[in-house]
A and B are shown apart, each in its own frame.
Chain A
Amino acid sequence: MQKYSLNFVMVLSAVVLLLMAQQGYIGNYIQAVIMYVGINIIMSTSLNLVNGNMGEFTCGHAAFMCMGAYVSSILSVLFFGKTLGDPMLPASMAIMVFPVIVLLGGVVAALTSVLVAVPAFKTRDDYLAIITIAVNYMVISAIENMDFVGGSRGFQGMKDTVWAMQGTLKAPWMLFWVITFTVFTIWVIRRFITSTYGKGVNAVCQDETAAEIMSVNTNKIKLVNFMISAGLAGCAGGLFAHIVGYVNPQSFNILKSTEAMVMVYLGGMGSLSGAVLSAIVFTGLLEVLRSQALMDFLLAPATFIFPDWEPSAGVIKWVMIPLLLVLIMQFRPEGIMGNKELSDVFPKLKKYYTFK
């Protein structure tokens, strides 16, 4: 009972969500928000592997998302789209092939992360931060110079795959895949971190020299950890590309990396449930602050003094979110959870579920 309760609740909630989407109880907007929540959960938990559990400081996570998005988009358009010539596969196969496409994007992103992981063998925090930023710029710049994927104009045509899936069976397919990949991500990360092998990640975080002496192969641990993290981010990128139906290298720039970092530090370093919670909270905040009416209400005193100043919600949003994070760093620097899991904060929960 205790062993399977969490899985049961997860599956039940996923099924309820999908059924509601199928029957039309939740509109397209809410569905989109749920999908973004899922993608942000993948991004924040995967970055948490490196920034929280391993204690390295990387700030170029969007580069891997970009790789995954582009690779999966190109494959998807090759197989089912019409922009790069005729579709190679029949539309009925879309349901089977789509997860493979997304995973392949993740694999390529993981291979890209070797660029970061190999220098990380020797370098420390600040220098590693630079290397990750440099890789982020390099990936964006490289893709902008490739003309066959549209360069800086962006690339589209991934919606054909989604429509192919819809044509086979009318269902909220993207929602289904996002939920599946989110659960898969959390499961992979949890299994990896709590395994004997994955304990090495935490050992590297605590004291690298001591870990090396205690026969942890730190280089290998770093490599594996970076690759898992980047691969999951690549999957998130693939899903993102198929939800939006359009990718542009500039949508994966430093700002996107900053968003992922904000989520990690909001949730608490090294806390998986914290990363999940903060992704939900952060995405919710982004959506709530999008409303112009709320902004006007919040800024009423300022606009009363300066009547000709018309702030737009999209801009003020990006003043408020960093401000929130600065305040968090001042008054609760450990984030929402702070290196604890949900069951550590509420010990009574341990009676009801175990999560390994």
Chain B
Amino acid sequence: MDFIIQNILNALQWGSFYALIALGYTLVYGVLRLINFAHGDIFMVGAYIAFFVAGFLLGPMVGLSPLVTFLLAVPLTMFLTACVGVTLERVAYRPLRRKGAHRLYVVITALMCGLILEYSNLAVLGASRLKFPELVEKTIWNLGGVTITNLKVIVIVAAVAVFIFLNFIVTKTKIGMAMRGISYDKFAIPLMGIPIDAIIVFTFVLGSAFAGLAGLLFAMSYPVLEPFMGMIIGWKAFIAAVVGGIGDIRGAFYGGFLLGFIEVGVVTVFPSTYRDLFAFTILLVILWMKPTGLFGMPQSTKI
């Protein structure tokens, strides 16, 4: 019983990262109908930004205590990562959108931007892995055989809070209404006096900021940074978003946790090398059963 509860907690933590990244994917897709393949690498950039911010705040120049550093690093990392995401949108996606380019070209551009981020990181910082400093004093609570670290709690709470926040923004605010409007009809929205570009930039800010948050939390949980850390987790988060039904906030959240549970479940039963195989097979089966994902709406085409 303890074993099961322990693994459920681990799966919740692992799923939280997937959910956080998948939320960013879903936001951008829901508004732009664009698979932002560079999102996983934005998460990687976020982790690196967190590393440098933490190093700077802990270092001799400023010299803050670790806890204050953590509290300051969260908004700073989110802000800087959002800047990276918006830059990407400005430089790569917006000109294409202005030209009315085919969707595929934008997707290819996104893929390539991800590669550029990875390899430029590798070129500038070298292949040696970085060790993330410990920011939060690790406290371990033992509840009758189940160990809970405070980091786990922080990660899970952060994921749920981000989900509630995004759900509130998309469903209850004016800007969220504009987002839903753009995804519904891109041509009528400017006629209503809604600044399309500003809304899209805001979407990228939201998605990238939460990717940055995910990067910070990930670096704190697994404190080794490498340039390709965003690749696998990015693809998997994207798949989680699709299984949930892409373009749907709830879907991304549940899909992320579902993927986390599947992976941790497989690892507890089988050798850990089978993780990818089982995860992807189950996802394929889900997509065979429901081609639009769990929460996705089937799109009807007019003839």
Residues on the A chain within 8 Å of B58, using CB: none
In the complex, which of the residues A130, A145, A262, A330 contacts B274, with contact meaning CB atoms closer than 8 Å?
Answer: A145
**For the complex, what is the distance from the CA of A118 to the CA of B291, rounded to whole Å?**
12
Residues on the A chain within 8 Å of B106, using CB: 329
A138 touches B111 (CB 8 A): no
* Closest Cβ–Cβ distance, residue A153 to chain B (whole Å): 12
Residues on the B chain within 8 Å of A137, using CB: 235, 276, 280
* Closest Cβ–Cβ distance, residue B140 to chain A (whole Å): 33
Residues on the B chain within 8 Å of A57, using CB: 104, 107
Give B92's nearest chain A residue, CB to CB: A326
Give B113's nearest chain A residue, CB to CB: A326
* Closest Cβ–Cβ distance, residue A304 to chain B (whole Å): 16
A123 at the interface (CB under 8 A from B): yes
Q: Mark B112-129, 1 if CB is under 8 A from A, else 0.
A: 110110111011100000
B115 touches A134 (CB 8 A): no
In the complex, which of the residues A129, A135, A309 contacts B284, with contact meaning CB atoms closer than 8 Å?
Answer: A135
In the complex, which of the residues A127, A138, A269, A333 contacts B277, with contact meaning CB atoms closer than 8 Å?
Answer: A138
Candidate in A130, A152, A309, A325 with the most chain B CB atoms within 10 angstroms: A130
B35 touches A329 (CB 8 A): no
Q: Chain B binding site: helix, strand, loop or mixed by DSSP?
A: helix
Q: Mark A290-330, 1 if CB is under 8 A from B, else 0.
A: 00000000000000000001011001101100110110011
B96 touches A329 (CB 8 A): yes
B7 at the interface (CB under 8 A from A): no
**For the complex, what is the distance from the CA of A142 to the CA of B109, rounded to whole Å?**
30
Residues on the A chain within 8 Å of B109, using CB: 325-326, 329-330
B231 touches A138 (CB 8 A): no
**For the complex, what is the distance from the CA of A122 to the CA of B288, rounded to whole Å?**
9
* Closest Cβ–Cβ distance, residue A146 to chain B (whole Å): 11
B22 at the interface (CB under 8 A from A): no
Residues on the A chain within 8 Å of B301, using CB: 209
In the complex, which of the residues A125, A127, A258, A322 contacts B287, with contact meaning CB atoms closer than 8 Å?
Answer: A127
A119 touches B288 (CB 8 A): yes
Residues on the B chain within 8 Å of A129, using CB: 35, 107
Residues on the B chain within 8 Å of A322, using CB: 111-113, 115-116, 119
In the complex, which of the residues A122, A125, A130, A330 contacts B96, with contact meaning CB atoms closer than 8 Å?
Answer: A330
Q: Given A126-B246, A138-B284, verify A330-B35 contact (CB < 8 Å).
A: no
**For the complex, what is the distance from the CA of A133 to the CA of B246, rounded to whole Å?**
16
**For the complex, what is the distance from the CA of A209 to the CA of B303, rounded to whole Å?**
7
Q: Chain A binding site: helix, strand, loop or mixed by DSSP?
A: helix
Chain A interface, number of residues (Cβ within 8 angstroms): 46
In the complex, which of the residues A115, A133, A141 contacts B235, with contact meaning CB atoms closer than 8 Å?
Answer: A133
Q: Given A138-B280, A209-B303, A318-B115, verify A333-B101 contact (CB < 8 Å).
A: yes
B283 at the interface (CB under 8 A from A): yes
Residues on the A chain within 8 Å of B303, using CB: 209
Candidate in B106, B108, B120, B301 with the most chain A CB atoms within 10 angstroms: B108
Residues on the A chain within 8 Å of B287, using CB: 119, 123, 127, 130-131, 134
Residues 235-273 (chain B) with a chain A CB within 8 angstroms: 235, 238-239, 242, 246, 271, 273
* Closest Cβ–Cβ distance, residue B101 to chain A (whole Å): 5
B239 touches A133 (CB 8 A): yes
Candidate in A122, A138, A312, A316 with the most chain B CB atoms within 10 angstroms: A138
Residues on the A chain within 8 Å of B119, using CB: 315-316, 318-319, 322
**For the complex, what is the distance from the CA of A57 to the CA of B35, rounded to whole Å?**
12
B184 at the interface (CB under 8 A from A): no
**For the complex, what is the distance from the CA of A290 to the CA of B129, rounded to whole Å?**
24
Q: Given A127-B287, A130-B239, A333-B101, verify A258-B281 contact (CB < 8 Å).
A: no
B183 at the interface (CB under 8 A from A): no
B111 touches A258 (CB 8 A): yes
**For the complex, what is the distance from the CA of A333 to the CA of B102, rounded to whole Å?**
9
A127 touches B108 (CB 8 A): no
**For the complex, what is the distance from the CA of A124 to the CA of B300, rounded to whole Å?**
12
Give A335's nearest chain B residue, CB to CB: B105
**For the complex, what is the distance from the CA of A130 to the CA of B118, rounded to whole Å?**
21
Residues on the B chain within 8 Å of A333, using CB: 96, 99, 101-102, 105
In the complex, which of the residues A59, A131, A315 contacts B123, with contact meaning CB atoms closer than 8 Å?
Answer: A315
A261 at the interface (CB under 8 A from B): yes
Residues on the B chain within 8 Å of A145, using CB: 271, 273-274, 277
Contacts A/B (CB < 8 Å), 27 sampled = A57-B107, A59-B111, A115-B284, A129-B107, A130-B238, A131-B287, A134-B287, A138-B281, A141-B274, A141-B275, A141-B280, A142-B277, A145-B273, A261-B108, A262-B112, A312-B123, A315-B122, A316-B119, A318-B119, A319-B119, A319-B123, A322-B115, A323-B112, A326-B112, A329-B105, A329-B108, A333-B96
6 tightest Cβ-Cβ pairs between the two chains A and B: A322-B112, A141-B277, A141-B276, A318-B119, A322-B115, A134-B280
19 further A-B pairs in the complex, CB-CB below 8 A; given A125-B104, A258-B115: A115-B284, A126-B35, A130-B239, A135-B280, A137-B235, A138-B277, A141-B273, A141-B280, A152-B273, A262-B112, A265-B104, A309-B124, A311-B123, A312-B123, A318-B115, A318-B119, A322-B111, A323-B116, A325-B109
Residues of chain A whose beta carbon lies under 8 Å from any beta carbon of chain B:
57, 59, 115, 118-119, 122-127, 129-131, 133-135, 137-138, 140-142, 144-145, 152, 209, 254, 258, 261-262, 265, 269, 309, 311-312, 315-316, 318-319, 322-323, 325-326, 329-330, 333
Residues of chain B whose beta carbon lies under 8 Å from any beta carbon of chain A:
29, 35, 92, 95-96, 99, 101-109, 111-113, 115-116, 118-120, 122-124, 231, 235, 238-239, 242, 246, 271, 273-277, 280-281, 283-284, 287-288, 291-293, 299, 301, 303
